[in-house]
């Protein structure tokens, strides 16, 4: 069975965001997930930042400080090669979960 | 996350925290910007941003904990907590660290010496194939060596060498130096390459005195020639004969004997020039060490068999000299079997003792830690009640143990390095180039650190049961401490009794040794070293020939005897305790001179007229030597009482009788002197005979000068006189008692090491009793408080608090005293007149143990007596 939990989903969302948007800071990730999920998903900062730092230490993402368009300093994250592989894995395992749950619900 | 960045993060903690803070701030700022753009007022925008972010501090903590990696971070805080705890109880910390430091230091020192002398192979290429070849009397003669060298099939090569003192003249004052006379193949057998120049070889030898070459040791070259590489080819005078310096040996090569560092090497064929006479043609004269390099693939058994086929050949061919020939192989480095087995046994014993000391130290520290855990049982219970796991509590206690063990280990290593340096630099006997070659290396340090950590874990785990037995409700319950189930003797108590016993043994033994040493300084030696000077000369060093030497010796005696204050003076070839010539003697009608047919083994000395008087040796019957006992007179001898008793039955019966030492020498006994000590203080009476120097000359002599005057003035006058006779003659003048240091060396060493071990044992017994007593007082503080409140007497309280500790002390001391008295029988072999039946020793040992008990229980007793019941009951 696919391993899945909330943390796994948050990792998937963050990785996918970075895959879609390239370089992004924490605030940008929160905004992107909210917008892209049509306000269905709201990421809490209290969970996001520990997750970002953990993923950075696992070498899935890398970070650097840079200026935003509004000239504010922010820490930008982007995917690494390891992170890309991790994303593929997380996506397929999430697909499995969704399929499994759907099959379960539609079981008559 | 890999370990290294985590550790790095620990050190950059503030930097990491600042960065997290900045990231969070930037997040909030960005949302404020967006809120402003969406049309909020500045205040609203800020409020909303902060609200949406949630708990900033907890987020920051969580991010930081990801960065700092939980495990390491908590170890760090454990360490800091442990250090803080230990600082709060300096007495405990100092005791624990000191105990461990002493034990680790002892182990590191003993291990280092063991490593240098026993474990480490000789620092020579392929040294595991090198063996010393010994026969029954250890050393070999030159003719036997040549036969062995040419006839054996087990060795690539066999070399011979002997140690000799020489007078060396490099152009200034003549000085004394130590040479190794070696066969030409010596350096090849050992596989050493010269540092400078070349070594002498087999091809340099063309018969006696044909190779006037010498090789310097590296340190002699550095110290006496200032490392001048131009000295190769220069000529120096050794005993007045010119020798050319061929080369310098490499720095780490100091010959084969670990203890003995020579100054130079000369070819053995030059023995006549170096020693004044040569024994190279005498098959019976055995004074050579042999060392051989075993052929590859030859086993020890094969080599032994091969050597003994040579021995059988020698026995058959030379029945007179090589009667009981039997070869064997031993490990080189410690003078073969001369020093090897005793040194190895002594070091192994010492290592075992050191190990026991460490074990005892661990037991003690375990006791101290248990006492501490008992003191903190409320705190521990509280922590368990608040949700701390027992593992976590134990880890904290273990961390404290490790902190102590590291501190103790470091202190111990520092101490051992200082001690080993001193030992290395130490020359136990000033006149010989003897060193203890110990250099603490990585192995020693690794050993010490390992021991420290292991013992830390060992004693750190002592409170294990206590922690696991702690129930959280104990905090709630008022009776926090109860006596545990009574059992006869706990393991710890048994350990303590053993330890006290060991301490008592050591105390008794060292007291016995000290007393023995004191007595031996006043013992009858058969001569009186008080008020006598010894002038050592070797006429050979100044180039005297055999016919000129006796006249010079006569001049030395006459000139010194004429000095004011000198009451008598005389020469002897070997002072007692500085070497013996073992000679078998035969009946006057004997014709078979194989040593198995001898009447008895004796020591032979050659002495001048006046020697007995100068030495203070009493003449029992007959006469002593006169100047008329010369080459042309009847060969005579003076024997000692033991000789007379053994061979002729009594002193009177010996006078006027004859005995032989060989076919040609038939000696008339003209006098009998008292018995003495000749090779060691503890020896049994030994038969000895003296020969007149004029009939049996010797180049090297010691002149005894007895005087009642001021020793300094007499010494100065003697020095002037000798220099006046021949200013090219090297000599030394010293009080006879100082010369005896060699004889007393073993006894002194035994006393010192026993004393040190006794002190260590005492220290450990002290901390052991202290630990036990404080533990029992801590555990029963409440009980004592109540007893005091109910009006208990101080004596009753003390009895309850310390009774058990004292019982253990008494049991251990009695056992130790008995064992110690038994052990002194063994000690009697080393220390002269070591007798256990000495009231002073017994009283001393009992007093020492009592004192120990008092000191160790003083603090716990104070604590038990100073309990304030009111305070205690309120607190609990």
Query: In this predicted structure, what is the pLDDT of residue A87?
Result: 92
CB distance A45 to A24 below 8 Å: no
**Is the minimum CB–CB distance between A72 and chain B shorter than 8 Å?**
yes
pLDDT above 90 (res B129): no
**Is the minimum CB–CB distance between A71 and chain B shorter than 8 Å?**
no
Q: Chain B: nearest CA to A61, how far in angstroms?
A: 13
- Contact assignment for B54 to A46 by CB distance below 8 Å: yes
- Contact assignment for B1 to A57 by CB distance below 8 Å: yes
Residue A75: partners with Cβ closer than 8 Å, 6 or more residues away? A25, A26, A63, A64, A65, B19, B22, B23, B26
3-state SS assignment for residue B621: strand
Better-predicted residue by pLDDT, B412 or B373? B412
pLDDT in tens, B247-306: 888 888 877 777 777 888 888 878 777 776 677 777 777 778 888 888 888 888 888 888
pLDDT in tens, A8-53: 688 899 999 999 988 999 999 999 998 998 888 888 888 899 889 8
If phi > 0 it is left, if psi is from -120 to 50 it is alpha, else beta; for residue B763 that is: alpha
Query: Which of B52-61, B475-484, B493-502, B507-516 has the least mean pLDDT?
Result: B475-484
Instruction: Out of A44, A50, A73, name the one closest to residue B66 (CB).
Output: A50
pLDDT in tens, B307-323: 888 888 877 787 777 77
- Contact assignment for A45 to B62 by CB distance below 8 Å: no
Kindly state the tokens that stand for B658.
């004859």
- Which of B6, B20, B28, B30 to probe the A interface (max A CBs under 10 A)? B30
In chain B, what residues touch A57 (CB-CB under 8 Å)?
1, 66-67
**Is the minimum CB–CB distance between A26 and chain B shorter than 8 Å?**
yes
Sign of the dihedral through C-alpha B707, B713, B716, B722:
negative
Confidence bin at A1 (pLDDT 50/70/90) = very low
- Contact assignment for A57 to B33 by CB distance below 8 Å: no
- Contact assignment for A26 to B63 by CB distance below 8 Å: no
- Contact assignment for A27 to B26 by CB distance below 8 Å: yes
- Check: complex ipTM more than 0.95: no
Q: Chain A: nearest CA to B376, how far in angstroms?
A: 38
Nearest in space to B9 (alpha carbons), one of B82, B65, B78: B65
Instruction: Out of A28, A46, A75, name the one closest to residue B58 (CB).
Output: A46
- Contact assignment for A26 to B53 by CB distance below 8 Å: no
φ, ψ for residue B298, nearest 5 deg: -95, 125
* Residues of B within an 8 Å Cβ radius of A: 1, 19-20, 22-24, 26-27, 29-31, 33-34, 52-55, 58-59, 62-63, 65-67
pLDDT above 70 (res B829): no
**Is the minimum CB–CB distance between A57 and chain B shorter than 8 Å?**
yes
For B33, nearest residue in chain A (alpha carbons): A70
**Is the minimum CB–CB distance between A107 and chain B shorter than 8 Å?**
no
**Is the minimum CB–CB distance between A82 and chain B shorter than 8 Å?**
no
Confidence bin at B487 (pLDDT 50/70/90) = very low
In chain B, what residues touch A77 (CB-CB under 8 Å)?
none
**Average pLDDT of the segment spanning B324-329:** 76
Confidence bin at B873 (pLDDT 50/70/90) = low
- Contact assignment for B54 to A44 by CB distance below 8 Å: yes
pLDDT in tens, B356-381: 777 777 777 777 777 777 777 777 77
**Average pLDDT of the segment spanning B330-338:** 67
pLDDT in tens, B24-81: 999 999 999 989 988 889 899 999 989 888 888 888 888 887 776 544 556 777 788 8
pLDDT in tens, B173-231: 677 778 888 888 888 888 888 888 888 888 877 777 777 888 888 888 888 888 788 88
For A71, nearest residue in chain B (alpha carbons): B30
For B64, nearest residue in chain A (alpha carbons): A50
- Contact assignment for A53 to B53 by CB distance below 8 Å: no
Q: Are strands B532-538 and B700-707 parallel, antiparallel or unpaired?
A: antiparallel
Q: How far is CA B423 from the centre of its chain?
A: 8
pLDDT above 80 (res B611): yes
- Contact assignment for A72 to B29 by CB distance below 8 Å: yes
Query: In this predicted structure, what is the pLDDT of residue A19?
Result: 93
Better-predicted residue by pLDDT, A36 or B760? A36
H helix or E strand, kind and range, residue B155: strand B155-169
3-state SS assignment for residue B672: strand
Query: In this predicted structure, what is the pLDDT of residue B483?
Result: 45
């Amino acid at each position: 069975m696919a391993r899945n939990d909330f943390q796994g989903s948050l990792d998937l969302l963050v990785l996918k965001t970075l895959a879609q948007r390239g370089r992004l800071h924490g605030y940008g990730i929160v905004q992107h997930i909210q917008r892209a999920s049509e306000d269905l998903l709201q990421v809490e900062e209290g969970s996001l930042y520990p997750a970002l730092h953990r993923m950075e230490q696992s070498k899935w993402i890398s970070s650097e400080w840079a200026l935003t368009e509004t000239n504010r300093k922010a820490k930008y994250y982007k995917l690494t090669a390891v992170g890309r592989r991790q994303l593929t894995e997380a996506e397929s395992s999430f697909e499995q979960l969704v399929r499994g749950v759907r099959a379960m619900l539609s079981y008559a | 996350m890999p370990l290294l960045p985590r550790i790095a993060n620990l050190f950059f903690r503030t930097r990491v925290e600042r960065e997290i803070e900045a990231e969070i701030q930037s997040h909030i700022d960005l949302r404020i910007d967006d809120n402003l753009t969406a049309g909020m007022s500045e205040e609203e925008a800020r409020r909303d941003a902060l609200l949406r972010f949630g708990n900033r501090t907890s987020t920051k903590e969580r991010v930081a904990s990801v960065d700092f990696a939980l495990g390491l971070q908590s170890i760090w805080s454990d360490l800091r907590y442990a250090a803080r705890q230990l600082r709060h109880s300096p007495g405990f910390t100092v005791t624990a660290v000191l105990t461990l430091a002493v034990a680790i230091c002892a182990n590191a020192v003993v291990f280092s010496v063991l490593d240098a002398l026993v474990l480490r192979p000789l620092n020579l290429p392929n040294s595991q194939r090198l063996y010393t070849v010994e026969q029954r009397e250890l050393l070999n003669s030159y003719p036997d060596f040549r036969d062995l060298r040419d006839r054996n099939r087990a060795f690539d090569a066999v070399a011979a060498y002997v140690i000799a003192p020489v007078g060396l003249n490099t152009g200034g004052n003549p000085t004394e130096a130590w040479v190794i006379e070696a066969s030409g193949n010596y350096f090849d057998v050992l596989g050493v390459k010269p540092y400078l120049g070349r070594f002498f070889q087999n091809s340099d030898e063309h018969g006696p005195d044909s190779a006037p070459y010498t090789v310097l040791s590296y340190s002699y070259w550095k110290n006496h020639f200032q490392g001048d590489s131009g000295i190769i080819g220069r000529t120096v005078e050794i005993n007045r004969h010119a020798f050319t310096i061929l080369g310098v040996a490499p720095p780490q090569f100091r010959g084969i004997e670990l203890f003995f560092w020579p100054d130079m090497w000369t070819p053995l064929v030059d023995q006549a020039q170096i020693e004044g006479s040569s024994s190279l043609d005498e098959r019976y004269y055995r004074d050579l060490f042999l060392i051989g390099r075993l052929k590859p693939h030859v086993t020890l058994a094969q080599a032994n068999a091969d050597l003994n086929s040579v021995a059988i050949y020698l026995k058959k061919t030379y029945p007179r000299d090589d009667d009981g020939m039997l070869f064997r192989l031993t490990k080189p480095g410690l003078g073969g079997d001369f020093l090897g087995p005793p040194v190895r046994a002594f070091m192994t014993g010492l290592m075992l003792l050191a190990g026991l000391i460490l074990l005892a130290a661990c037991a003690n520290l375990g006791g101290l830690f248990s006492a501490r855990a008992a003191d903190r049982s409320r705190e521990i219970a509280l922590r368990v009640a608040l949700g701390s796991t027992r593992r976590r509590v134990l880890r904290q206690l273990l961390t404290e143990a490790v902190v102590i063990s590291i501190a103790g280990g470091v202190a111990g290593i520092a101490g051992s390095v200082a001690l080993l340096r001193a030992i290395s630099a130490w020359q136990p006997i000033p006149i010989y180039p003897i060193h203890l070659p110990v250099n603490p290396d990585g192995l020693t340090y690794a050993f010490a650190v390992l021991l420290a950590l292991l013992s830390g874990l060992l004693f750190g785990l002592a409170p294990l049961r206590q922690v696991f037995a702690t129930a959280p409700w104990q905090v709630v319950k008022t009776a926090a401490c109860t006596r545990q189930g009574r059992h006869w003797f706990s393991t710890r108590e048994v350990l303590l009794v053993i330890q006290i016993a060991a301490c008592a043994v050591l105390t008794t033994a060292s007291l016995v040794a000290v007393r023995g040493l004191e007595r031996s300084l006043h013992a009858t030696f058969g001569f009186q070293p008080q008020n006598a000077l010894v002038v050592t000369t070797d006429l050979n060093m100044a180039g005297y020939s055999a016919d000129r030497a006796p006249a010079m010796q006569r001049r030395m005696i006459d000139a010194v005897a004429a000095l004011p204050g000198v009451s008598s003076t005389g020469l002897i070839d070997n002072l007692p305790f500085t070497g013996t010539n073992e000679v078998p003697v035969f009946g006057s009608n004997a014709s078979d001179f194989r040593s198995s047919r001898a009447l008895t083994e004796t020591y032979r000395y050659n002495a001048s007229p006046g020697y007995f008087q100068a030495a203070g040796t009493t003449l029992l019957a007959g006469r002593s030597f006169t100047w008329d006992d010369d080459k042309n007179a009847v060969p005579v001898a003076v024997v000692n009482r033991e000789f007379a008793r053994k061979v002729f039955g009594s002193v009177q019966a010996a006078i006027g009788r004859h005995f032989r030492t060989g076919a040609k020498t038939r000696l008339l006994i003209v006098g009998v002197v008292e018995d003495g000590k000749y090779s060691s203080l503890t020896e049994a009476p030994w038969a000895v005979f003296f020969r007149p120097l004029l009939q049996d000359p010797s180049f090297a002599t010691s002149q005894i000068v007895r005087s009642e005057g001021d020793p300094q003035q007499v010494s100065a006058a003697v020095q002037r006189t000798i220099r006046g006779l021949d200013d090219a003659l090297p000599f030394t003048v010293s009080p006879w008692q100082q010369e005896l240091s060699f004889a007393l060396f073993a006894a002194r060493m035994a006393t010192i090491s026993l004393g040190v071990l006794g002190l260590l044992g005492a220290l450990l017994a002290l901390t052991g009793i202290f630990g036990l007593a404080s533990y029992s007082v801590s555990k029963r503080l409440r009980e004592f408080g109540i007893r005091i409140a109910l009006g208990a007497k101080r004596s009753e309280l003390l009895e309850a608090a310390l009774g058990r500790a004292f019982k253990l002390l008494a049991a251990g001391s009695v056992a130790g005293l008995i064992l110690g008295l038994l052990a002194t029988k063994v000690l009697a072999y080393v220390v002269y007149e070591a007798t256990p039946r000495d009231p002073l020793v017994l009283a001393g040992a009992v007093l020492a143990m009592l004192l120990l008990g008092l000191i160790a229980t003083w603090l716990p007793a104070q604590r038990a007596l100073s309990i304030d019941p009111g305070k205690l009951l309120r607190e609990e």
